[in-house]
Each structure stands twice: as structure tokens, then as C-alpha cells.
Amino acid sequence: MKIKLFKSLLIAGAFLCFGMTQAQEVSGTVSDANGPLPGASVLVKGTTNGTQTDFDGNYTISNVGSGATLVFSYIGYKSQEIAVNGNSTINATLAEDAQALDEIVVVGYGTQVRKEITSSVTSVNVEDFNQGVINDAQSLLQGKVAGLSIYNKGGNPNASATIRLRGVSTIGGNTEPLVVIDGILGQSLSNVDPSDIENITVLKDGSAAAIYGTRGSSGVILVTTKSGKNGQPFSVSYNGQYSMATKANEIATMNREEFIAAGGSDLGADTNWRDEVTRTALTTVHNVAAVGGTEDANYRVSVNFRDAEGVLVNSGFNQFNARTKLSGRMLNDKLKIDFNSALTQRDSDFGFEEALRYAVLYNPTAPILGTDAPFVFNAPQFGGYFETLGLFDSFNPVSIANQNQNFGTTTSINYSLDFDYSFTDNFSAILNIGQQNVKTQNRQYYPTTSFFRGNALSPFRKGRADFYTNEARNQTFELYGNWSKTINDKLSLSATGGYSWQESDFNEYYLQLADFPPGVDFNFGNAIEVGQDLLEAGRVIANSGRNDDDRIIAFFGKINATFDNAIYFDASVRREGSSRFGEDNKWGLFPSVSVGVDANKYLELPNVNLLKARLGYGVTGATPGSVGLSQTNFNVVNGSNGFGSSATGIGTRKPNPELGWEEKRELNLGFEFAMDRLSATLDIYNRDVNDFIQSIPIDAATNDGFSSQFQNAGALNTKGIELSANYDVLKSEKLNYNTGIIFSSYKSVLKENIGGDRTTANLGAPGQNGTNVILIREGEEIGQIWGPVFSGEVDANGSPILVDVNGDGTLITDQGSALNEDADFAVLGKGLPDFELGWTNQITVGNWDINAFFRGAFGHSLVNTFRAFYEPRIGSQSSYNFVNTDLARDDIKTAQFSSYYVEKADFLRLDNLSVGYNFDINNNYIKNIRVSLAGQNLFTLTSYTGTDPEPALQDFGPVDNGAARGLTPNVLAPGIERRYNYFTATTFTLGLNVNF
């Protein structure tokens, strides 16, 4: 049944109540020994105004109950609690505390004092973000949060990074964390410019994320954007960056002389194809922000311009982003209204990653242009470019990059309204309304002269134009109440309860036309009406999709208790319903409970500020990837017998009205320790995911013609450990040095596999399209690379001699026998690392600051597909270049996948090094100036011979002979570096920040 917004309002209205008690206005200053602390926070406990962040060290808060307590805090200082007791003026002086235990941290549906948090939560402030040119918000966190894996293999500027929090939490739904921006659920990190972000908090364990139900099953990322401050004079800031990037690594191949000596075909030229399709990429970033405020309101308006080039020619994007954040108080300061809006438009030139692939394998003696070849008969036919004819999967990479077009535009509009009304000193109600609209339009065009996908060699259907449009909308409505009260000097309580409504829908369509007039130098992508496909039925390719009425409704509540300022208790429950399930399985229940104790309160250890143990347990879940899985999927055919006819009369997917929720149960044990200079956090967790939702093959003969059905099939267990530590090595007025390290490790085992043991991740063509390299087996760790073992010896025919693994005297290494008990297959490595590491070093010397950040992953392996296909010295492949890494052997002359092509990919990378200087400016126009120089990916220590040793956390399948890669990743097949990966880059950035 369609649920209208006004019905949601009626349901939620039950949470509102009225009442007034005596309240007053309180003002004062927040300072340290040296003077005011601009930006300090004031948390009001026992009333409803929450947190106020002042601008110049002065604060004013209305409607403060006479029995309330004010908690003053500032990053790097010990917080101070002062009871109001009817006083209208309260001044606070804070003392330094490197560990900032009383920092206010954003959590689900509210905030908490850091030391009172009983779940695994990590908060990263703007001062700790990664430096340099950061084109996406997730890169701000890369390597900064233990357990959060962020990898964008190769660094394609148009590709989104893969994000995993504590490994795989689902295989059929969304495997990435829920993003909440300024309290609005379901937002996209691509719609907020990195320059506009103030803080990012990551809710890692089940007890922290359970309040968000199914949306939080893969973790939660809470983003707080920058805002103005009440009473702040109007000011403007400018942040500019100019960067230069060059390719950092590439697969080693033969040059002309080496290729000819190895028996390669000599076409007379000498071409470095990788240099021809790559460039020095330039990126400019301009950010302008205006902030200000009055006594009752504040604002921040920003605009961002990004012009980013990729190291692949004709790749990159132009992006415009505008964000507005307004906040004001009304009705005697009882009502606070926040309005947020954002517009992002990105015009992308995607280029063709295939140009990089063929730049590795293309004949180095081939010319770029046909007119430079010994024979030029094919030059006009291919737009003047040379092409090697008669070869499988061989295309001129320069022609791919220059002749074809691959571009698109994405426009995102976000807005949200937040109403916070204080009914009493102890109770407030919050209403959040938000919407996100995203429209994507992508186009590809291949002229009639393009050998790559343009069919230039054929007399039929030359040229091609592809069009794709997607419009998506996400709406949210949430109403909840917050209550807090200090019961006595030992006990304080707070509670939250509310209602959530979320609905999303999308429309998409795809159209492909071809067969344009040959011999005409014209872009027919803008004149598709001349395509000969329109003259013959069935040659136009068109499809569309729609997903509407995708709705989640939830009721939720949580309670927090603090006893003796040392014992903390939190509990939450969420009852959630989803339209993605059948009528009898729509609803799920997701509880959590956690406790924490600051033992140092009672042990009183010398020089120790905190010694806390905490234990949390939470249940979250996951929904299927789309609606309608409980219904029949029809395979409609528009053929000669009329619309709707098909071979069987029905579709291939059998409905499953009994399909139920996936369920994730997580237990987390944590310890926190802090001294004046040292702090550390340790988390140990155990996660069980049951009832995976996945498509299972079924017997069509016994299921009315259906060949598949979505079922609850499978279970996964993940155990992990996370450690973070921070230490002030030096601390003085002139010199400070702080170092911090994060460490995380986990292991995921497939406990149940109803779909059956199998191998997956086909290598593809040429010649290895029956070779699967990843094992999926019940009771085994996910991501195991599976195959024959190379003995290190080669026979007289140039074939690698494989090992009789089981020692039975019979060698069985064919792919069809890979799972047989007598097969000579073994685990050759694993795609997931044993552990990941991040190491931060921050030094300040006067006005200078230096930041060096190292990142690494250890214990994982990668299948180097470039080597597997192009390293064997096969005589029949003499028209392709040979990969020539340090591992290459001239005596191997046949392509046989084995352990020989599986490489350990441990790496340690200087991910970011920045040096900055702050100029002391004292005039009426400029407040300060900062200049910085940053380098990214400056060096990598690794023995891996591929393009990028970073883990490949998922696989999009093989690509060959000009085909496009798949769209749906296989999360159970990590560990493969495919031949279409983007080249990594080293980047240098000059930055300028001016505050007016």
C-alpha cells in the first residue's frame, strides 16, 4: 500500500508532547591560559538545546534549565562540567589534554561525549584528513580508520573507490557503508565536496550501527559539513590547488630490440605505446566559502570548481559544486531550523581503460599511423591509424583513445530541512526531511573508421552510438524525540525514540544504434536518425528498467545511562519493514546493547586519564538488491508471433514469497587507554552473517521451467582485531611531533554455501576462458586463489612441469577436475590481506608543519593476468608484445595458469607527504595565508610486478576482444588484477589558502 507523507506525519505525531519549566539565558567565555578558544563547544545536559559551537570564545545559550549542567570542550583540552545553579554568567578555563577524552562525537541520532561511548566508533576531524588533491570524500579517510578498507586500484579519477568495513557483510546487497550527511540517510559521498567536510565519524560495530537497521549492516559513515557560527562576522576564505600527476608504475614489456630478438614480428616502427596514450595530468581546484552569523542565525555558502585530468589521455572531469548551510533560532530560541542544500554537476570524459590494456600488449614495432607502415592499404579505412588485421583481441591503443568518445554528465541535487524544537528543559523533538535527485547521462560514440567497437572492417553495420540515462530519487522523513535528565550527582539518563520513512526509485533506459554512412567525416552520435539500423526491424538495441515503491519504514529507540561518571550503558532497538520482501516477511527486529567501564575512576592509576573496557552486541540485516524478488520475472519477447510470446511462456526466475532478511550478529570487545601523551584503542570482534540472499540455480525440469531463484542461502563468519595508537613524541612551544598507527586484521570463512562448492573468476580469452582461479568452498576462507602448482621446471616443449600435489602418481590439473578429491590443485594465495597498516607522522616547528603518511597491506596475493596471458614466449603470439618482468622465463612457451602467475603483493607506500607554512598576517583585509606542497604516492616498496599491489577486493570478470566489463562485482572473488586496470600515478600539489 502506498504510504503518503502526510500519513507519516500522523504516525510520527505521537512522539510530540508539550510542557514548560523555568529556564534562563546563560552566557560567558571559554578560554585556556592564553586566552579565548574560538570554536569551543558547549554541551547542555539536562535541557534540550544540545551543542553550541561558538566563534570567538564567547557563547550565549537561551532556555537553559536552572538545574542543568554545561559541559565545555575543545579539541586537545580536558572538558569541564559546571552546574548552572541559577547563574546567568559562567566562564570556563580549559586545560590541555592531548587525548581529548571529552570531545563531542556525532553518533546515530545524536552526539555523545567520547569517553562515554560504549561501541566501536572512530571520529576523524578536518585536521587529520589526507592532504593533496582529494577528488572524493572517501579518500580523506584512506588508511585513517582501523578496519575501514578503501581502495581505488590505479586511481582512475572517474572511478569510485571500493569501500569495505570489516570485510564482506553481504554478497547480494549493498556491501558499502551507509552514508549519512548532516543527519540525512542514504546520501552519496560523491555529492559532497571534500573541501566542505568538517568531520567524518565511522560507526564500525553492530551495537553502534544497529540503530540504522538494514541500512547500517555494512557500517555507517556520518559526515558533518562545515557551518557558520552565531555572532561570526562575515568572512571569506579561498582554497586553491594546482597539481601535476605522472604515471607511477606500469607492466614491464619488451622494447623493439628485445621483441625482435624473441621472435616477434617486425613491422618496421619503434613505438612506446604506453607513452603514446598517457600524459602529465594537470588538475586545478578552486574553493570559495563565505560564512557569517548574527545572534540568532548563521550561514555558510561555498562553491567548488574542479578540473581534473587523468594520466590516460582524454580522461578526467570538470565538476561544479555549490553548498548552502543555514541555521537559525526562533520562538525565544526554542525552535532551531537548519537548511542544507547542494548542487553537484560533473562532466566526465571517461576515456577508455582498454587503451592502457592494449598499450601493454600491442606490437612495439607497429606504427601509430597507417601511412608510416610498409603497407598503407588500410589507413583510410581506419581513420588513418594502423591496425594489425587477422589477430584476436588486438587494437591500436592510440586509435582507441583518439577516435572514440566516452563521456557523460551527472547532476545531483540534495536538500534537507531539520527542525529542532525544545518543549521543556529535558525534551526536544527533531524533524528531518531530505531528498536527493541524481540524473546520469552517458554516451559513447564509435565512428565508422574505428576498428575497436566501430566494426570498421565489416561491410555491414559500421559505427555505433550508445546512450544511457538514469534518474534516481531518494526521499527521507524522520521524526524523533530526545530526552535527557541528570537524576542526581551519580546518575544521568538520555533517551531517543522515533519514526523513519525512506523511499527510493529510479528509471533507466539504454539505446544503441549503428550502421552509419561510411566515408563521411561527421559525428553521427548527434545524428542517429541516419543509422541504417532504423530501416530493419530488430537491429536497434533498446532496453529500460524501473524500480519504484522501494520503501523502508522503521520505528526506533535507544537509551543511554551514565553512572558515577565511569559506568556507561547503551541500548537500542529498531523495527524495520521493507517493500523488497513478500507480504509475510516484510518486518525485521534489530536490537543492540553495550556497556563500558572506566576502571581508572576506581583504580586511580598514576598519570592515566582513561582505562576503559567496553562490550557491545548488535544485530543488523540486509535486504535483497532490488524489489520484486518474491514475484515472477517474465521473459518478454517481441517477435514474429506478437508481443509477449516466449519459448516457455514464463521467465527464468522463480518467485520466492518466503525470502527473508539477511541477519548480521556482531560481538565487539574494546579497550581504551589514555595518558597525557599516549592513547590507544583495541577492538576484537566476531561477526556472523546468516541467510545470505543470492540467486541459486535450480532444476528447470522440476520447477515449471524456472532455472534460478533468489534464496536465503549461506552463512559467513568474520573474526578480526583492530588497534590504533597515538603518541606525542615531542611537545613544546616550538616543536611538536605526534605519531599514530592503525592496524587491522580479519579472516572471513564461508560457513554455509547452499549454492554448492565451486570455482569462479574466469580468466577469459584468448585461450584461458575456461580457467577459474578463485575457490568458493564451505568451511574455507573466502578469496582463496586456486590452481595447479608450478614445480619450477620446464619440459622440452616449453611447458611448465606441474606438481603432483597429493602424491598419488597421477597428475590431474584440468579445470573440469578442479574440485575433485584426486585433483592436483592447491591454495596458491589469498586475495584479502592478513593485515592493513596506516602510519601518520605530524611535525610542527613554529609556523611550519610537516605531515607524512604511510599505508600498507600485507599477506595478500594477486593473480597477475598480464603475465598469465602475455609472458609465455608463445610462437603463435609473435604479433603481440611480451610481458618482460623480472619473473619472466624465456623457456616457458605455453600458457598454463599455475602458482607461477600468483604473486605476493605486500606493499608499504608513502601515500602522502605535505609541507605547509602559515604566514602571520595582521591587516584589515587578510587574516592569514597558508601555502603547502604535497606529494601523493611518492614511492611504493613491493615485490609485485603488476601495475598496483593494492588488494582487489572484488572482481568484475574478464574482458576480451573489445567487450565491456561487467557491472555487477563478485565480492567472493578478490585477488585478481585484471588487464583493464588503470595505471597508478604520482601527484604533486601546490596549495594556497587565504582567509579574508
| Topology of the domain covering 235-459+469-661+685-759+833-995 | Maltoporin; Chain A (2.40.170)
pLDDT at 376: 52
> Which one of 230-239, 386-395, 835-844 scores highest in mean pLDDT?
835-844
Higher-confidence residue of 339 and 215: namely 339
Q: Say whether pLDDT at 835 is over 50.
A: yes
Residue with cell 604533486: 988
Band of residue 6 on the pLDDT scale cut at 50, 70, 90: very low
Q: Say whether pLDDT at 643 is over 70.
A: no
Q: Say whether pLDDT at 178 is over 50.
A: yes
Give yes or no for a contact between 42 and 29, defined as CB atoms under 8 angstroms apart.
no
Higher-confidence residue of 902 and 95: namely 902
Q: Say whether pLDDT at 646 is over 70.
A: no
Band of residue 651 on the pLDDT scale cut at 50, 70, 90: low
Listed range (325-339, 484-498, 525-539) with the worst mean pLDDT: 525-539
Helix (H) or strand (E) holding 973: none
pTM (predicted TM-score): 0.85
Give yes or no for a contact between 591 and 617, defined as CB atoms under 8 angstroms apart.
no
Tens of pLDDT, residues 184-195: 888 888 888 888
Q: Say whether pLDDT at 913 is over 50.
A: yes
CA distance 154 to 140: 17
Tens of pLDDT, residues 125-168: 888 888 777 888 888 888 889 999 988 887 788 888 889 999 98
Tens of pLDDT, residues 469-487: 999 999 999 999 999 999 9
Domain locations in the chain? 235-459+469-661+685-759+833-995
Residue with cell 607506500: 909
Tens of pLDDT, residues 595-612: 999 999 999 899 899 999
CA distance 951 to 856: 10
How crowded is residue 918: how many other Cβ atoms within 10 Å of its Cβ? 16
pLDDT at 636: 56
Cell representation of residue 205: 560495530
Q: Say whether pLDDT at 355 is over 90.
A: yes
Residue with cell 591509424: 385
Q: Say whether pLDDT at 550 is over 90.
A: no
Nearest to 723 by CA among 671, 688, 675: 671
Band of residue 58 on the pLDDT scale cut at 50, 70, 90: confident
CA distance 166 to 620: 14
Listed range (32-46, 76-90, 682-696, 937-951) with the worst mean pLDDT: 32-46
* End-to-end Cα separation, the chain, in angstroms: 55
CA distance 857 to 985: 18
CA distance 361 to 587: 53
Mean per-residue pLDDT of the chain? 87
CA distance 16 to 183: 20
Band of residue 10 on the pLDDT scale cut at 50, 70, 90: very low
CA distance 258 to 8: 72
Tens of pLDDT, residues 442-469: 999 999 999 999 999 888 889 999 999 9
Strands 335-349 and 41-45, sheet pairing: unpaired
Residue with cell 579517510: 141
Share of the chain above pLDDT 70, in %: 91
Q: Say whether pLDDT at 21 is over 70.
A: no
How crowded is residue 894: how many other Cβ atoms within 10 Å of its Cβ? 14
Tens of pLDDT, residues 229-264: 887 788 899 999 999 999 998 889 999 999 999 999
pLDDT at 613: 96
pLDDT at 769: 85
Encoded amino acid at 944, one letter = Y
Cell representation of residue 68: 542543568
CA distance 69 to 87: 11
Give yes or no for a contact between 68 and 494, defined as CB atoms under 8 angstroms apart.
no
Rounded mean pLDDT, 22-29: 78
How crowded is residue 313: how many other Cβ atoms within 10 Å of its Cβ? 20
Cis bond leading into 447, ω under 30°? no
pLDDT at 48: 46
Q: Say whether pLDDT at 9 is over 50.
A: no
Cell representation of residue 638: 517481441
pLDDT at 3: 41
> Which one of 225-229, 343-347, 764-768 scores highest in mean pLDDT?
343-347
